[in-house]
Amino acid sequence: MTFEEALKKVNEANEKIVEANRMVSDAIMHSFLFTWRWWIGVSLIVLPWIAWLIFRDKQSTGRLLTAGFFVMIFSAVLDTIGIENGLWAYPVKVIPSPTLSFSLRLSVLPVIAMFFIQFKPKVNPFLKAIIYGSFAAFVGLPLLSMIDMYKRIHWEYAYSCFILTGMYLCSYWFYNLNSFERVQPLKPAGTAVEMNMSFLRKKQKIK
């Protein structure tokens, strides 16, 4: 295959991706929109973040968001790889994106991970990771499959359990990074001058 032929194939593939996006958009606009499954998807995007804003540990917001963003990015990459290789799919969608579930990957999984991290912080993180991965893989995904929001093709729930367990441990590591040190505001120059003047006055009194 020549370089020009390869470019032609890539262009053809891009056209198919655009066509796939149009097909997903048509399905959402003409069949899924405002159905009860669609509303469940919307709720799974919005409600977890509302709950997190209310019940989060406000003193650890930055750390928690770092862990949550890692879960979101890792999940997005994982979805892209899995769907492009025909391992699983998300038939019913809220937002027209062929390679990503906004409900699961960008809301439910990161928010639950953040709650797991802040709840009972002294509990062994490996135990939490196993519970997180097992619950998401063997309870969450089958429930989504029942309402056509997730479909296994060439995949097993056990694989998801293993990956999600490791993902939680990585997010926990990001949460505990030592680089999160509070930046102390610089004292105004006038304050230092006043302190020096005060010291000189005391010194003169002693003399």
Separation CA 102–CA 61 (nearest Å):
22
In this prediction the pTM is: 0.81
| Residue-range domain boundaries for the chain | 34-181
Return the beta strands (E) in the chain as ranges: 88-89, 151-152
Q: What is the rounded radius of gyration, in angstroms, for the C-alpha atoms of the chain?
A: 25
d(CA 205, CA 26): 86
Nearest CA to 139 out of 164, 157, 117, 112 is that of 157
- Each of the 207 residues of the chain gets a pLDDT tens digit; together they read 888 888 889 999 889 888 888 888 898 888 888 999 999 999 999 999 999 999 999 999 999 999 999 999 999 899 889 988 999 999 888 887 766 677 888 899 999 999 999 999 899 999 999 999 999 999 999 999 999 999 999 999 999 999 999 999 999 999 998 665 554 555 554 555 555 555 555 555 555
- Helix/strand/coil for 14: helix
Residue with tokens 């409600």: 47
